Structure 1
Amino acid sequence: MPRGARGPGGPGTGRPRRRLALLAAAVAAVPLAAGAFALLRTGEDPAAADGGPPSARVSGAVPADSDVPRALRPVLTRAALQCSEDEVTPAFLAAMLKAESGFDADARRPGTDEYGIAMWTPSVFKGWARDGDHDGDKSSMSPPDAISAMSDYVCWLDRQYKKNGMQRELPALMAAGYRTSSRTVVEAGGVPARVRPHVERVQRYLAEYTR
């Protein structure tokens, strides 16, 4: 869960043409995130009736035979397409979620005040909240909302690192920043030692999802 965030810093208004084309395809072919999550516990694929999810056509899509819940995949695709940075992909977001909660929408760590599939701290979530399932509410316990907000936050982290000349191993830096803060990572000049085991898990899962 992100710590030390100062406020929303989501993606800018400009997107490369490739992203615009992919976004158009996603909007046309994927049901609303709310519909996708409604089927999460049933194991059904909400995009199957439309000939398959657009994630198959998106760079960094989750492999069809991965352990990522099928109903989460269109949610991940839509969230990744919010960001124009190439490093923020469905596979990266999936790796983050697996490391954070194991895809458990009801995950709770009261001791560290972290909750939900993306392990948001409620007070921090407020600054990044998105209505990912279009139900008129923004909740860190709603997977579409939490994942959409996660995408915005890691997108902002990606840009902060690039501004500071940190161009290498951006997925690792984003995972570290989500666990700590952008300032902590920049001041450390890389992944802080205390979160390295967590970051290594994210990297391992990302390798599995991008094989």
Structure 2
Amino acid sequence: MTEPYAVPVPRGYRVGAWEVRAPLATGAFGSVYEGRYTGTDGRLPRTVALKFLPTGTSTPRRLAHLQDLVEREVELYRRLRHPRLIRMYETLTVDDPDRPVLDGATVLVLERAEGSLAALLARTPRPERGPALLAQIVEGLHQLHAAGWVHGDLKPANVLLMRDGSVRLGDFNMAAELEGTHAYTPAFSTPDYTPPELLWSEIGERGRRIRPSADVWAFGVLAHLVLTHTLPLPGATPTARRDAAVAYARGTDPLRLSPGLPEPWQDIVRDCLTRTHAERLGSGALLRRVRAATGTGPAPGRRRPSRRTTALAAAAATVAAAVLGYGVSTWAGDGGAGDDRKAAPASASLTPAARYGASELRTGKGVPAAYRLLIVETARDCDREGVTSALIAAMLKVESDFDPDLSDPAKDEYGIARWTPSVLRWWMHEDGTPGETVPAPPFPPAESIPAMGRYLCWIAPRLDRTLPGDPRLLIAAAYRTSYRKVNDAGGVPPKYADYAARVAHYLKEYTPPGRT
């Protein structure tokens, strides 16, 4: 060990079924060691990274601060599992009163990386595979943002390189979940990767307000460093570069990118490093631009259709045919068995569309045949408990009575799923990319129903599992309000009790016998 470790742990130390083997890295608040698995569970890897965070000692103030950082990181690991995010296997607490420095420490058992981008750049400035690495970094960034999180501390040390050469983002103790357009993070960051608006921002009781655009700025700095071996703002010290960032943001100094920055990247980096957050690229647009520049993915607007895209295209065609042939917009009954008689001619009940997914969505109970394929495929695309075809159908019934032309300007809600345009923007694309502009109604069912499914699938794991009541109704209530309000209320908020009761009625109607 060539430098003092924040949490010194001797070789051979045991915590749970893991044995400490060798030091890997350290930071101001924690230290990482290679760990070896000594148990018998074949599902766990033999070698991991053990991240020790000293949450059991120090002064109460320091303890509270460290505990907050740990909770942020653990919460993200527990909720998110994406290919470009480092994986967590379990968390442990050290019980060792004879070692006060370790006693009570939290240990994160993480996927083992081979190194970091920081170490690679120290050995090999401007690495040949730099553009490909940047493409994977922005994939991870987009996965975070699409899931509703901000990293808050993107820098080379927090970009991890795996044995197969792939990239993972790690070190999420500054990460925070978005609350609308903002999140709140501790007032710590690396100055060279901090956007100008945060250099003088006020610090409130909950920390510093941060937007996803802060990560986009950090990516612009990181990309410039990887491709040119220089930082984009001048100065021999972090303080000097911070002052340069402030001068640039105030318009007194221009942004002078390195002439060594490859041409396709000049516009990308410039659009990441804009003076104000509002001008910066979103991570979805950034991903498309980087993929186009590196040839690592489809060019913008040329996404290859997946199996599910093809199925939903067929569903859209079914909807269109039904609208033209049977007048879908006239279906507006009370959801009883009699609705099918006015929904379409008798022959419609014999079509494949009307029978599709019969084991998941009851036929003959008022769900328009034209929407069955969309509803069933949307539910199948989500692996979260509670997000079922019957739930989606019941919610569509309560939201709009299956009216694709619903328009409620007073509430700013439109279409079969009663979407607010500014919210639909975040859920309208299959690849999780938010729309670059707010969509304008009308919203066709082929767009609205899958977007509802994606939103419900995002809501489900964020609800407190200890809440009483039917999880499906909790999901429905959260769609109407928010998962936070449902969690805070300890169940369906009283204001939405009638809504949940109506969804429960149709949920029972639409669920096939023998299914729950």
Question: Shorter-chain-normalised TM-score: which range?
Answer: 0.7 to 0.9
Distance in 1, Cα, partners of 2:413 & 2:353: 37
Indicate if the aligned counterparts of 1:30 and 1:54 stay in contact, CA closer than 8 A: no
Cα deviation per residue 1:67-124 (whole Å; 9 max; x = unaligned)? 1100100111111111002311111100000000000001111111000000000001
Partner of 1:180: 481
Partner of 1:4: none
Q: Secondary structure at the match of 1:111?
A: coil
Change (3 A) 1:178 1:142: same
Q: Secondary structure at the match of 1:187?
A: helix
Change (3 A) 1:179 1:8: farther
Partner of 2:416: 117
Distance in 1, Cα, partners of 2:390 & 2:369: 13
Deviation at 1:56, TM superposition (A): 2.6
Q: Secondary structure at the match of 1:88?
A: coil
Deviation at 1:130, TM superposition (A): 2.8
Distance in 2, Cα, partners of 1:124 & 1:191: 21
Indicate if the aligned counterparts of 1:85 and 1:158 stay in contact, CA closer than 8 A: yes
What does 1:1-211 correspond to in 2, within 5 Å?
Answer: 8-9=146-147, 32-41=314-323, 42-43=325-326, 48=351, 53-57=355-359, 61-130=360-429, 141-162=443-464, 164-166=465-467, 168-210=469-511, 211=513
Q: Secondary structure at the match of 1:198?
A: helix
Q: Secondary structure at the match of 1:106?
A: coil
**Please, what TM-score do these two structures have when normalized by structure 1?**
0.74
Cα deviation per residue 1:25-53 (whole Å; 9 max; x = unaligned)? x89988712212112322475993x6975
Distance in 1, Cα, partners of 2:398 & 2:392: 10
Deviation at 1:200, TM superposition (A): 0.6
Deviation at 1:142, TM superposition (A): 1.1
Deviation at 1:9, TM superposition (A): 3.4
Change (3 A) 1:56 1:194: same
Partner of 2:77: none
- Name the aligned partner's letter for residue 157 of structure 1: I
**Please, what TM-score do these two structures have when normalized by structure 2?**
0.32
Deviation at 1:149, TM superposition (A): 0.7
Indicate if the aligned counterparts of 1:62 and 1:91 stay in contact, CA closer than 8 A: yes
Change (3 A) 1:56 1:31: farther
Change (3 A) 1:30 1:126: closer
Q: Secondary structure at the match of 1:32?
A: helix
Change (3 A) 1:180 1:31: closer
Change (3 A) 1:178 1:52: closer
Change (3 A) 1:8 1:206: farther
Q: Secondary structure at the match of 2:426?
A: helix
Which has the higher Rg, Structure 1 or Structure 2?
2
Distance in 2, Cα, partners of 1:39 & 1:65: 20
Change (3 A) 1:116 1:29: closer
